[in-house]
Amino acid sequence: MNKWAKLIASILICQMAGFVGSIFTASSIPTWYADLQKPTFSPPNWLFGPVWIILYTLMGISLYLVFNKKKNIKTPLILFAVQLILNSIWSILFFGLQNPFYAFIEIIILWIAILLTIISFYKVSKNASLLLLPYIIWVSVATILNYYIWVLNPWYYGLFIWNILNITYFLKKKNKNEG
């Protein structure tokens, strides 16, 4: 595969993660998300799409730079794949399942995975790691935003407790029926 094909493929892989996330996001923005209480520093909805397109492009270029090195790239590529999957899962949890609490827990894990990816990319290509800095900064803001949305909309915490109580009740009932 020539260099241009590798670059385009790397960018498309990252854009596909964004596409998967947008399947769950697009329908929730004008409905569920619009009804949530949000902090005053919440960016306008129109900003998210363009920012993510740019970030996924930078991520793709970063991936390309590492992929081209051909030595000591297995761990960095695995970490990159993990953080990319976690990126899509966050959209599913937050917008698809409409659960800011689960999404908050997941975005912390995502942030750690991005940091580990940046560190591992740095060992292979300094430029590749630098291209991921806007991504971790944006996810840092998203983490704070996610936290405040969860706190400002406490009924989701109540649903979390309710789910735990239902699971506990179901397990007790199951054990009683088996005993």
| CATH code at position 17 | 1.20.1260.100
Cβ atoms of 139 and 110 within 8 Å: the answer is yes
More confident residue, 166 or 64: 64
The count of structural domains within the chain is 1
User: How do residues 135-166 score in pLDDT, each as one tens digit?
Assistant: 999 999 999 999 999 989 877 555 555 555 55
Helix H or strand E encompassing 124? helix 100-124
Average pLDDT of the residues in 77-104: 95
Taking the model in full, what pTM does it have?
A: 0.85
Integer Cα distance of 13 and 10 in angstroms: 5
According to the model, what pLDDT value does residue 168 have? Answer: 59
Find, among 117, 18, 110, 109, the residue nearest to 66 by Cα: 117
Give the residue numbers spanning the domain of 31: 3-178
Find, among 145, 142, 163, 124, the residue nearest to 36 by Cα: 145
Greatest Cα pair distance, the chain, in angstroms, is 65
SS3 132: coil
Q: Percentage of residues in the chain with pLDDT exceeding 90?
A: 72
Backbone angles phi, psi at 36, to 5 degrees: -75, 150
